[in-house]
Every structure is written in structure tokens, then in C-alpha cells.
Chain A
């Protein structure tokens, strides 16, 4: 390149850094501006959103937020989402680590076949399977298992569809733990369960945290399963509730914006706290799965 003859190295470096930051800043603006516009609209009155929608909200109007936080609807949805998320996360972590342990560390006839069965799940995402799953849920409900219009139904489906990917992640993590450790434990008289419980799980804590963080995000953001399983508005989760809220108050842009902004806050807080776990879970899942 001709510039390399004309300019000293440090100057080249500064110029390239400048363009680097310029491009990255443009992308930051594209990411942040839509979110900021939402927050602006949330902090204005309905009239202000109509008359000057793009200016910063000065003075700040908290009325919309107070209205939403003062009523029971938002808190109910938040509670439902939290319950589902916590149960699903515990379920996924427990079931997947148990199964992954067997696939990584024990031998039995038909292991390969069973493992391949679980890989089918990777090729069957929820949006593809939603009608088939709904039909099973409905049938179970008719048979007396309370899963339709019930948070239990959402939990079971979300856990079931999280199994394949997370078993793969944990299995590859468990496989990477040296076999000598297992031999030593068995020689010292550990049972398979002892080894799993006292040695493997403590060592796998970072992987378990990643699986948990990832599962939380997926469950928290899921719209489709609650949409087909739930009818009763007392049980609505946040994504479903946000969608219905918009349908009901669609005309009042500032109120809807406030609702959407409030429903985004828990996710963003959680993301900032658990970014490392989410990121490592995602990359592990993508590369191993």
C-alpha cells in the first residue's frame, strides 16, 4: 500500500484506529437509538408523543410508569414469567446434567442410539413443532393432566425443548474432565453417584451457570408456547402480556411504550449481570451443538 511509504507507522495506526472507532460508533448509534426512542416515548404524556415525538422527555413524566406499576396487571405477568423461568431453569440444569453425565461417563448397550435420539431435538425447534406439541398438550389435558391453560404446561414444553442442546453442551464439558479423576474416585470407593455429585458437578459449575443463564433468557423471552397454551389472562407471561396490552391500548403510544420499556428492564439488568455466562453458554452451544 502506498501510504506505508508516506506515513510513519504510528500515524497509520492512529488513522486506522480512528476509522475503526468511527464505524463501531455508527453501529452503536444504530443499536441504541431505537431503544432510546422507546424510553423517550415512555416518559412522555400521550399528548407530547403526538406533538413532538422525537425530543428528549423534558420534563420527565412518570405517570405512565406509575399507572402500570400501580396496577396488578404488570406485576402478575412479571410473577408468572419469573415462576416459569425459575422452574424451567432448575429443571433443565438438573435433568440435563444427569443425562449428560450418563452419556459422558457411563457405558451401556444402546447408548449411541439414545444419544442420536436426543440429537433429533436439535433439528426440531419450537416454532416447527408448536402445533404437534399443542395437540399433545390438549390430549393430556382431556386425560386429566392439568397442562392446558396452566403454567405447568409451558414449563414442561420449555424444558423438553431445551434438553437436546444443553445435554450436548454439558456432555462435552463432562467428557473433558480427565478420566484419571474418575478412576481415583472409584478406587477410593465412590459410587457413580458420589463421583457425579461430589466431584463432577463442583468442577462443572461454570458450565452449569452458562446453561442456566441461557435457559433463563430463552424461557423469559418465549412467546409461542405461552401463546398457544394459555388462555386465562391471569396466567399471561410478560411477552404474551405485552402483545395483548398493545392490542388493547394500541392508540396510546406513550402507555404502550412504557409497558414495553418496563418489560425490557428485567432482561437488560439480567444481561448486564450475567453477560459472561450467557455469552459462553451461547458459543459453547453453537460450537458443540
Chain B
């Protein structure tokens, strides 16, 4: 049997012949172009174009001619409703960090490795996540009905001797109501992230801690929690970006009301763009939202960059 000489193998290596290179370049171009074109037309270009429109007072009929410079951007910052929307977004983020994420982590630890029936619980807990926001909103709209004869929750409240609560009609509690529904829908997703994170922690580490005499609580705070670091980082990031996106749920349940008490940035932009048709102003709101997203992402990535304890996660 003849073993091919080394130079022959080298000749077969890629990138040596010109035809091969042309073929490669063709592959690269053909593979990338469809995605790139769509991405440019529907993601990048719209945002660039909005920077232009945001400098006009424009109702959307005919070309934009009434140039106002940065007037829209100034007006937004002094609009009380925009500030309420901003505050509501921050409140939703705060509530999520204080309640939703700890709850999700707690449940993930409960449904830990060896619990019989864990697949069942996981399936049920994650189900609200796959239901659309439209369906979720209607389900809860029925439950929140202020009339105890119609709304299940108020039936429970009156059964317990309380007075019917205007869950969606009281400016003081409407945001909490929205948050409860958001938690109902999204905690399963965060629980899933934590479950994956927990699975990636080698059992040996926890066993070693137990042998060394750590109580379950110590083991959680000194072993599990630090090792979940990168999962927590992801989960917090997605919570914040998610709060910026809340739209359908609020739009269907409250339309941002009563008196703007549950206004979110996305509903604010939608109202100005598609109800009042102030497209220049709406564009400026979109730019602000985009800037918030980008600024937060960059700062967050910079601040939380840290050596991972476990590979890749």
C-alpha cells in the first residue's frame, strides 16, 4: 500500500487554489445575504430612518416638512405621562428583582434534581409562558371583574368579608395587579433558567459541603447561589429588557389607565404613534427606548463581566 507523500496532502488543503477561494467567497455571500438584507431593511434601516423622522412634527400624511429639531425629545422629557411610564417600568423591574426572581429561584430549588414528579410541576409552571399575552390578558380580565357576581377574585374577597377591590380601576393598585399577571405568566421562564443553572452545578460540590457539615441553608447561600451567578445575571438582564417590552397585556387589560396609572413605555409609544398619529413624536419615543436598551445592555455587560465559575454557562 502506498502512503501518499506529505506534500500531496498539503495540496488538498483548503485555501490554496484560486477557484476554491472564489467558491468559498460565493458561499459566504449567498449564505449571508438573505439574512443580512432582511435584517437591514426591517431592523437597522427603520431605526436609522426614525432618527430622521424624530426631528419633525409629522402626522404621517405626505412628506415630513415641519422640522422642529430636538423639540420632540425635549417635549417627551417634560411630559408627565412619559415620566409615569418610565417610573412604572422601573417599578416593574424593581418588583421583578425583589419578588419574581427570588420566587422563581425558590421554586427551581424546590423542584430540584431528585423530586419525584418534577417533570409534572415543570410542565404546569411553564405553561402560562406559552399562552399568548392576549389569552393571558382575557383570562385575568374575567377574574379581576370588580363585581363579585362576575369576578372570581372579588367573590373570594367578599367571601372573606372584605369589600370588592377595583383591581384594574384603582390607580393605587393597578400596577401591582399588572405585576401579578406578569409574574403569573413569566415566573416559569425564569424558573426554567435557574433549573438549567442548577443542573450544571456538579453534585459533588454540594455533597462535599454536606459531608463537611453544612446545613441545607448554608449550602444554598455559600455554594448554590454563587455558582448560579451567571444564570442570575442572565435572568436579571432579561427581566429588565422584558419590562421595556410590556405591551399586549397592559393594552388589553387597562389601555394604560386609569388616568395613565399603568402606562408603560411601549403603550405610550403605541398611543402616540397609532392612536394619535403623531409619528414624529412617536419616533422620538422609539429612539429613547432604543437608547435605554443599548445603554443598559452595554453598562450591564461591563459591570457584570466576571470570571465564570463553571465553563461556558
Contact = CB atoms under 8 A, between A and B. Distances in A.
A253 B150 contact: yes
B34 A267 contact: no
Interface residues of B, number: 87
Interface in B105-160: 107, 110-111, 115, 121, 123-128, 130-135, 138-140, 142-143, 149-150, 152, 155
A32 B124 contact: yes
B170 interface: no
A152 interface: no
A131 B273 contact: yes
B221 interface: no
Interface of A: 1, 20, 23-24, 27-28, 30-35, 37-38, 41, 50, 53-54, 95-96, 98-99, 101-102, 106, 108, 114, 117-118, 120-136, 156-157, 159-161, 163-164, 167, 186-187, 189, 191-193, 196, 217, 220-221, 223-224, 228, 238-239, 242-243, 246, 253, 256-257, 260, 263-264, 267-268, 270-272, 275, 278-279, 282-283, 286-287
B44 interface: yes
B177 to A, nearest CB: 13
Contacts, number: 251
Interface string B66-90: 0000000000000000000000000
Contacts of B44: 117, 120
B159 to A, nearest CB: 10
B222 interface: no
Given A127-B244, A130-B270, 13 more contacts: A24-B111, A31-B128, A33-B152, A34-B140, A106-B24, A131-B282, A161-B42, A221-B133, A228-B274, A239-B134, A243-B134, A271-B127, A279-B192
Given A24-B111, A54-B155, A287-B313, A136 B132 contact: no
A212 B28 CA distance: 23
Contacts of A167: 35
Contacts of B139: 34-35, 37-38, 260
B39 interface: yes
Interface in B215-269: 215, 230-231, 234-235, 238, 241, 244-248, 252, 266, 269
B294 interface: yes
Interface centre among A50, A132, A157, A160 (most CB of B within 10 A): A132
B167 interface: no
21 contacts: A1-B215, A28-B121, A50-B149, A54-B155, A95-B35, A102-B32, A108-B28, A118-B39, A121-B39, A123-B241, A124-B290, A125-B241, A128-B290, A129-B290, A131-B285, A156-B41, A163-B35, A186-B13, A191-B23, A243-B252, A268-B131
Nearest to A259: B138
Contacts of A102: 27-28, 31-32
A128 B240 CA distance: 13
A223 B47 contact: no
A20 B115 contact: yes
